[in-house]
Amino acid sequence: MSRPGHPYIGWSGSGFGPRILGLNPWIHDFAAFNLWARPVGLLACLGMLRSAGASVALMDCLDPTWEGERWPRPGKYGTGHYPKMELELPEALGFAERRYSRYGLPVERVREALEALDPAPDAVLVTTVMTYWYPGALELLDLAAELWPSAVRVLGGAYATLCGDHAAAHADAGLIVSGSLEEPGNWGRLWSALGRAAPEAPEDAGLGLALDLYHEPGYAPVLGSRGCPFSCEYCASRVLHPGFRQGGPESVFGSIRAEYDRGVRDFAFYDDALLVGPERWLWPVLDRIGAEGMELRLHTPNAMHVRRLTPEVCARLREAGLTTVRLGLETTDFDHRRDVKLTRAEWEAGARNLTDAGFDLDDVGVYILFGLPGQDLAGVERAVAHVRSYGFRPHLAHYTPIPGSPLFAEAAEASPYPIAAEPLFQNNSLWPCVPGGFNWDEAKRWKALLHGE
Ligand code: B12
Ligand code: SF4
């Protein structure tokens, strides 16, 4: 349990293997909102390392680790705002007339908690969720170097994988890992950096999450699969995880049950392709939730595939407790889509099935892509009106140019910023591929449109 005023991070594991500390950095950005955020990649790493014999601990700079910290305005179902501290704009973003902040726990408290960690770690694992959030990771690597100079510092996650050259030039890390830790090459390299022979990676490596490292979890992520069988041109899923792998229902349910027994009632799916092959794990898990009479709320902040929303699927999801629904519509210009992911008829059927299943329309958000290279924004306006006409909430998914995605070269051509050389320019808050970039008047106009004003 956390105690008032006392930071709490402790070791969990056999006590015989190496001590490995996972660090989830602060977010450095123009804005940030907690939508059931967890560093799931890092939690998967700590889970597999503990199963392989290591002792692990976690400092998540985006979670209130101890009581007595002021954590602003809680939102719906466990979401919310982060505390923030305004920072000077990084040099590259000096032109932006906007506030830039470090979101998460105060730096002094993090330092205090890390200083109190006894015994010291043999290795620290720093993750990165978004490429353009790398400044927080570099800051933590520096702090780790100061506190434990002899510990091995390892950097991984999206920035390390998608911007490897930039990371190699800027990060003070002994090891930079591209891709999943459980890949045999990466697994071997980590253990050899620790000066040990690599044990066998556990069977559920990459899917088993060390969720128990949160002492007072208000919500929990659910991960039943890795990767995606599709390859949309704006997405980097294939680079991050080539192939599509699903876990078994037993372990996914076990992880939900364990968190439920600790009082968690809000669960967010982190899968890329939740509704692909649901008979493999999703249906058995939802059936079990029903059979055991568990009353919980499920959320899909990461959009679901609309074409898979048959009446049966919608009814099953609703019955199991799906509450916050996000759908990937992208555009209503169906005849000129850059892919064939969704036809007009499929969209209309999916929307109707969802409504018929009785979801609260207020909890159904529909993502519309905004700011693709060369995109006609009049089409986005039409899509907003179309979504509103169904009673759903339109959300603009601001296009993020991601290195390694098929569209990245075109984005780099279209953007006035050097998005390939400097990941800070990959931040979708800059509207990096919209002519003229972000502009307050336009932002206000879009906000009004989204609210139907
Ligand atoms: C769930 C998810 C979300 C959730 C929650 C994210 C969170 N944690 O806060 C929600 C829906 C909120 C979200 C939102 C967004 N997301 Co998102 N999201 C994801 C998703 C689908 C899964 C991430 C995940 O947890 N995967 C599962 C874990 C197990 O895999 P992993 O993180 O890769 O971890 C493995 C390795 O990387 C490695 N590893 C990880 N850390 C470490 C550390 C060390 C030391 C080592 C050695 C190894 C290692 O080993 C791990 C285990 O195998 C990814 C896509 C994807 N497939 O990764 C996109 C993704 C991360 N999101 C992306 C984007 C663009 C966004 C949005 C900007 C979307 C938008 N346009 O509005 C927003 C902005 C988020 C914000 N401002 O908060 C992009 C990233 C772009 C970038 N530049 O980095 C991704 C890659 C999707 C894409 N389009 O390609 N997202
Ligand atoms: S956008 Fe979604 S469906 Fe398309 S490749 Fe990425 S994860 Fe798969």
| Mean pLDDT value across residues 321-342 | 84
pLDDT per residue over 54-70, tens digit each? 999 999 999 986 666 76
> For a substitution probing ligand 1, which of 35, 50, 252, 396 has the most ligand atoms within 8 Å of its CB?
35
Alpha-carbon distance of 273 to 103, in angstroms, equals 29
pLDDT of residue 341: 77
Going by alpha carbons, the residue nearest to atom 4 of ligand 2 is 232
Q: Identify which ligand lies nearest to the alpha carbon of 271.
A: 1
Token digits of residue 361: 């329309």
Cα 184 to ligand 2 centre (Å):
25
Ligand 2, pocket residues at CB < 6 Å: 228, 230-232, 235, 237, 272-273
pLDDT of residue 307: 94
Cα 260 to ligand 2 centre (Å):
29
pLDDT per residue over 120-171, tens digit each? 999 999 999 999 999 999 999 999 999 999 999 999 999 999 999 999 999 9
- Start-to-end CA span in the chain (Å): 47
Containing 141, the helix (H) or strand (E) segment is helix 134-147
Going by alpha carbons, the residue nearest to atom 11 of ligand 1 is 302
Q: What is the position in ligand 2's atom list of the atom closest to the CA of 237?
A: 6
**Is the predicted pLDDT of residue 95 greater than 90, yes or no?**
yes
Geometric angle at alpha carbon 29, from 24 and 31, rounded to 5°: 110
Q: What is the position in ligand 1's atom list of the atom closest to the CA of 133?
A: 84
Q: Identify which ligand lies nearest to the alpha carbon of 23.
A: 1
The dihedral region occupied by 187, where left means phi > 0, alpha psi between -120 and 50, and beta the remainder, is alpha
pLDDT per residue over 189-208, tens digit each? 999 999 999 999 999 999 99
Cα 37 to ligand 1 centre (Å):
10
pLDDT of residue 216: 86
Going by alpha carbons, the residue nearest to atom 3 of ligand 2 is 230
pLDDT of residue 71: 81
Give yes or no for a contact between 166 and 135, defined as CB atoms under 8 angstroms apart: no
Cα 226 to ligand 2 centre (Å):
12
Q: What is the position in ligand 1's atom list of the atom closest to the CA of 33?
A: 78
The dihedral region occupied by 355, where left means phi > 0, alpha psi between -120 and 50, and beta the remainder, is alpha
User: Chain-wide mean pLDDT for the chain?
Assistant: 94
pLDDT per residue over 14-33, tens digit each? 888 999 999 999 999 999 99
Alpha-carbon distance of 365 to 260, in angstroms, equals 26
Alpha-carbon distance of 49 to 17, in angstroms, equals 9
Q: Report the candidate in 419, 294, 432 with the shortest Cα–Cα distance to residue 373.
A: 432
pLDDT tier for residue 444 given thresholds of 50, 70 and 90: very high
> For a substitution probing ligand 1, which of 24, 29, 36, 40 has the most ligand atoms within 8 Å of its CB?
40
pLDDT of residue 223: 98
Q: What is the position in ligand 2's atom list of the atom closest to the CA of 234?
A: 1
pLDDT tier for residue 5 given thresholds of 50, 70 and 90: low
pLDDT of residue 15: 85
> Could you give the domains of the chain?
19-193 (3.40.50.720), 217-450 (3.20.20.70)
Cα 130 to ligand 1 centre (Å):
6
Q: Identify which ligand lies nearest to the alpha carbon of 402.
A: 1
**Is the predicted pLDDT of residue 112 greater than 80, yes or no?**
yes
Lowest mean pLDDT, pick from 35-49, 87-101, 320-334: 320-334
Q: What is the position in ligand 2's atom list of the atom closest to the CA of 303?
A: 2
Give yes or no for a contact between 152 and 175, defined as CB atoms under 8 angstroms apart: yes
Alpha-carbon distance of 354 to 104, in angstroms, equals 36
Give yes or no for a contact between 100 and 86, defined as CB atoms under 8 angstroms apart: yes
pLDDT of residue 68: 66
Q: Identify which ligand lies nearest to the alpha carbon of 430.
A: 1
Cα 129 to ligand 1 centre (Å):
5
**Is the predicted pLDDT of residue 212 greater than 80, yes or no?**
yes
pLDDT tier for residue 72 given thresholds of 50, 70 and 90: confident
pLDDT of residue 3: 46
Give yes or no for a contact between 21 and 58, defined as CB atoms under 8 angstroms apart: yes
Ligand 1, pocket residues at CB < 6 Å: 32, 35, 37-38, 40-42, 44-45, 125-127, 129-132, 154-158, 161, 177, 180-182, 206, 223, 235-237, 240-241, 270, 272, 301-302, 397-398, 400, 402, 426, 428
pLDDT tier for residue 73 given thresholds of 50, 70 and 90: confident
pLDDT of residue 2: 43
pLDDT of residue 4: 47
**Is the predicted pLDDT of residue 293 greater than 50, yes or no?**
yes
- The amino acid that residue 200 corresponds to is E
Q: Identify which ligand lies nearest to the alpha carbon of 240.
A: 1
Going by alpha carbons, the residue nearest to atom 73 of ligand 1 is 397
Token digits of residue 147: 């506190």
**Is the predicted pLDDT of residue 1 greater than 90, yes or no?**
no
Alpha-carbon distance of 420 to 437, in angstroms, equals 17
Q: What is the position in ligand 1's atom list of the atom closest to the CA of 228?
A: 57
Q: What DSSP string describes 338-353?
A: SS-S--HHHHHHHHHH
3-state DSSP helix/strand/coil % of the chain, to nearest 5: 35, 20, 45
pLDDT tier for residue 338 given thresholds of 50, 70 and 90: low
Q: Identify which ligand lies nearest to the alpha carbon of 408.
A: 1
pLDDT per residue over 37-52, tens digit each? 999 999 999 999 999 9
**Is the predicted pLDDT of residue 330 greater than 90, yes or no?**
no
Q: What is the position in ligand 1's atom list of the atom closest to the CA of 177?
A: 47
Cα 235 to ligand 2 centre (Å):
6
Q: Identify which ligand lies nearest to the alpha carbon of 219.
A: 1
pLDDT per residue over 379-397, tens digit each? 999 999 999 999 999 999 9
Alpha-carbon distance of 449 to 381, in angstroms, equals 8
